[in-house]
Structure 1
Amino acid sequence: MKRLFKLGSALLLISVLLAACGGGGGNAGEGSGGEQSGEKVKLTVWHNFAGDDLRAKTVRNIIEKFGQDHPEIELDAQAIPVDGYRQRLSTVAAANEMPDVFLVYAGSQSQEFYDAGLLQPITELGEQYPEWKNNFMEGAFDPFEFEEGQFYSAPLAMSATSFLYYNSDLFEKHNVKVPATWDELMAAIKTFNDNGITPIALGNKAPWVAQSTILGSIADRVTGTEWFKKAAAQDGASFTDPEFVEALGYFKQLSDAKAFQEGANSIDNTQAEQYFIQGNAAMMISGAWTLTNLAASATEEQMEPIDVTVLPSIPNGKGEANTITGGAGAGLALSAKAEGAVKDAALQLIYAVSGPDAQKAIAESNSMIMYKAEVDESKVTSLYYKAFNLAQTVGITPVYDAYLSAEAAEVINNGLQEIMMGGDPAAVGKKLQEAQARSKAE
């Protein structure tokens, strides 16, 4: 990567000559003004770390410190609330007026921006800092590698969605084994029900929850990852195939066995977290967001008995057992328009926010990362520390709605609610297949 500035006399002489020739013009977005005139480089940054949670504060502090450490850069950093961020970014993308650096979501959004020619790779950062690049977990760059040998962002988070949280005190009190197989899980559900304890807390009012936290993990154990990717691509597999209907059948088993509390489809995920942490449920299947939420709302005493593992294996399943659903989270991307000094400054910022020190700081804000870091146990909750160490040892499998069309994701989300109310798994599979087929025919 080029050096941002060279303050020797040769550059000063060149700057004078260029100015005399009219070469000192241009705006900061074109990367020419700061480099040629000696003025500050103007760098615009958009992100959605606008909240009061520890992770948002941590990332904002990293960006602020970068500005302080680089007085030669005029940093315009905008923190846009999460709810409106995606729409704001889509609006400027449509007008081809992207900021120099911006947070981009892994999956369809980053793919769309790449297809529209709005991104340029940051591969040279990996070449400059190979130890940093090699320290990311397997698959971290997959959603951002749109061309072989090139990557367009470095994730700041791991989207882990299917941890099995459990209350070890309740398991010990009722002499229940932490389930490693499906039969053990069903036995645990029966025992807790017999003793008046909800087996699994679930808040599925927003119906993505059951799909993201439970179905994807169960289904991958039944079908295997490659089958799902083929079905999502509508290339040699169908959601009407027996293995997928079988996977939906396992979800129905949970519902029929009264694994979830009464009214699970009418309470939200936050309410379910509180129900669980207060000792009303023995287990909860949820994502890394629960770690952050409980860090802010629960006492250490409440979290002390909570442990974390993966969902149990499925008999005769084609998928791996020691896995969680998830993948790379969002990362900072570089505008295709950034050139010269602006590009150099942008790359420095991207490294500052995604480099080893930043990854460690983000992890110590009780947020999961796709980077191998040593976390100071004293700086995080006991539950986060357990989950962080677990995540370093498991495989990562796809979250369904990251691969399905928007219509198909809505169909499976609603279909799981239907199954919980007595619906037929085969009928849900058929509707999902029709929706995904339509998306691929368009």
Structure 2
Amino acid sequence: MKKWKQVLSVILVFALMLSLAACGKKPAADTSTETDQAKDNNAVTEAADSKDTPTDPPAQNPVTLMTVSMHGGTDANAGNYQAINSQFMTDYPYITIEDDSQSADQDWKTKIAADFAVGNEPDVIQYFTDANASDVLAADKFVSIDEIKAQYPDYAKDTLDSALAAAANPDGVQRAVPTTGYWEGMFCNKDLFDKYNLELPTDWDKMLKAIDVFKQNDIVPIAVSLNNVPHYWIEFLMLSAAGPDGYKAVPETAPEDWCKGLDMFKTLRDMGAFPVDTDTIDNDFAGEMFKNKEAAMQLDGSWYLGGIPDQDNTVLVSFPVIPGGKAQPGSMVGGISSGFYITKKAWEDPDKRDAAVKFVMAHTNSDSVQKYWNGNGQAAAAVKAVDNMTPLGISGMEYSQAATSISSPTDSRISQEAYNTLVAGIVDVSTGKKTSKDLLDEVLAINAK
């Protein structure tokens, strides 16, 4: 019995020791929650780091943009246009521009119309906005500005509302974004007038006297290509004869005033006012004659001003009113008649669409318009006054500001086919092979079709 009690005591002592050992031992920590939290903290840290670390933009697909403009040949803004293109390709290295800019003569207009007719139109084109664009507009291949703005709200944001309205097509739809407006006027080499003690041709008699004196001294009185670009003379002779209201009308048969104006082509030719080869030279050649002081006078537009080397001795004068003309002195031809279009071909290609929008905006923002304008003509965006304007620049500004009326050219009111017929018939009118009335009746009949 005593022995059994001793055994029981040992057992109780051993059990007590086990109990004490269990109480002194700390339970193992549950680390699963801490591990998950650490993972979450690491994820947050990595996300924050990724926001602070710049990442490369997604790679752009290479794009080749086919472009066409009027800034080719001897155009005064050809250098600005090409410089903007070069900077554009530097800013957007994935975009390659393949440009086919040329002088905007009749042959070029015909080529553009043919390209659009057969589906060979470019992605972006700077082209006419008035009736000169009738053949191209008929192909219905341009995107409207409203449609573009629906996806690109900043498109044409620098362009003045008035300029966009002035550049609207004949149907009232705005498709083209303009850069500058224009005026047309009589450029004179004043140093030649001074050399022969002649007054500037501010009236018709003074111009006739100047023609006679220059002809006697082997100076071409008037630089013009009657077979290539007689446009400016057509406009001013008809405006001078008919006055602004009669000039802007589109009659069904030849008005007497229009005939009277065009009759002056023969009068001036018979006097020897034009180059002897006026029927064969082109407009660029005529322009070089004037710039080289081989000719005394030239009718041209504000775009021509910047390309004249002698900015000190060249001036602008208002076209003199012909005898019996209904226009007031200071009547001027001018307006906004061109802009940059995006074609549907480019718009329907996602990559080209964005590139085309960027291209047009690069050429029509305020900085680019400032370069294109440079104090000449009318700016389509807000621009800064030009410092150190040349005497010719000031003369052009004063001439345009003194205009008593501004009328758009005839080609903005009649069809392209009709106007082409008018231009093509001027040589025959000047030689007497065809009368002004016969030509105008033919032109107006075509326009009425």
- Normalising by structure 2, we get a TM-score of 0.68
Q: 1:132 maps to which residue?
A: 159
- Count of paired positions: 381
Q: 1:220 maps to which residue?
A: 239
2:102 matches 1:62: no
Q: 2:98 maps to which residue?
A: 78
* Contact 2:223/2:297 (<8 A) preserved: no
Within 5 A, what are the aligned runs for 1:157-306?
157-158=180-181, 160=183, 162-193=184-215, 196=217, 198=219, 200-204=221-225, 207-210=227-230, 212-231=231-250, 236-239=251-254, 241-288=255-302, 290-291=304-305, 293-295=307-309, 300=310, 303-306=311-314
Q: 2:315 maps to which residue?
A: 307
* Contact 2:318/2:331 (<8 A) preserved: yes
- 1:217: how far off? 0.9
Tell me how far apart the structure 2 counterparts of residues 400 and 436 of structure 1 sit (CA, whole Å): 12
Percent of residue pairs bearing the same amino acid type: 20
Q: 1:351 maps to which residue?
A: 361
* Contact 1:203/1:266 (<8 A) preserved: no
Q: 2:54 maps to which residue?
A: none
Give, as a single letter, the amino acid of the residue that structure 1 aligns with 2:273: A
Q: 2:428 maps to which residue?
A: 418
- 1:114: how far off? 4.2
SS in 2 for 1:144: coil
Tell me how far apart the structure 2 counterparts of residues 42 and 130 of structure 1 sit (CA, whole Å): 27
The C-alpha deviation readout for 1:228-256, integer Å capped at 9, x for no partner, is 4543xxxx4422x2111211233333334
Q: 1:3 maps to which residue?
A: none
Tell me how far apart the structure 2 counterparts of residues 353 and 141 of structure 1 sit (CA, whole Å): 18
* Contact 2:132/2:415 (<8 A) preserved: no
Structure 1 residues 156, 393: closer, same or farther in 2, change over 3 A?
Answer: farther
- Normalising by structure 1, we get a TM-score of 0.69
2:396 paired residue among 373, 387, 396: 387
The C-alpha deviation readout for 1:113-159, integer Å capped at 9, x for no partner, is 544432222244898766631474xxx744533554x4111223546
- 1:358: how far off? 0.5
* Contact 1:51/1:57 (<8 A) preserved: no
Tell me how far apart the structure 2 counterparts of residues 275 and 85 of structure 1 sit (CA, whole Å): 22
2:176 matches 1:153: yes
The C-alpha deviation readout for 1:90-118, integer Å capped at 9, x for no partner, is 57644667655333333456444544432
2:435 matches 1:431: no
- 1:51: how far off? 6.0
- 1:408: how far off? 3.9
Structure 1 residues 118, 423: closer, same or farther in 2, change over 3 A?
Answer: closer
The C-alpha deviation readout for 1:394-413, integer Å capped at 9, x for no partner, is 45433344555555445433
The C-alpha deviation readout for 1:377-430, integer Å capped at 9, x for no partner, is 55x865456435544554543334455555544543354323433456xx2322
Give, as a single letter, the amino acid of the residue that structure 1 aligns with 2:238: A
* Contact 1:325/1:397 (<8 A) preserved: yes
Structure 1 residues 320, 373: closer, same or farther in 2, change over 3 A?
Answer: farther
Tell me how far apart the structure 2 counterparts of residues 61 and 393 of structure 1 sit (CA, whole Å): 33
Structure 2 unmatched runs, 5+: 1-46, 48-56
* Contact 1:377/1:385 (<8 A) preserved: no
- 1:199: how far off? 6.4
Give, as a single letter, the amino acid of the residue that structure 1 aligns with 2:253: S
Q: 1:27 maps to which residue?
A: none
2:168 matches 1:144: yes
Structure 1 residues 131, 270: closer, same or farther in 2, change over 3 A?
Answer: closer
Structure 1 residues 384, 401: closer, same or farther in 2, change over 3 A?
Answer: same
Structure 1 residues 430, 386: closer, same or farther in 2, change over 3 A?
Answer: same
Q: 1:334 maps to which residue?
A: 342
Greater Cα shift, 354-363 or 389-398: 389-398
Tell me how far apart the structure 1 counterparts of residues 101 and 191 of structure 2 sit (CA, whole Å): 39
Give, as a single letter, the amino acid of the residue that structure 2 aligns with 1:223: A
- 1:79: how far off? 0.7
Structure 1 residues 47, 438: closer, same or farther in 2, change over 3 A?
Answer: closer
Structure 1 residues 147, 258: closer, same or farther in 2, change over 3 A?
Answer: closer
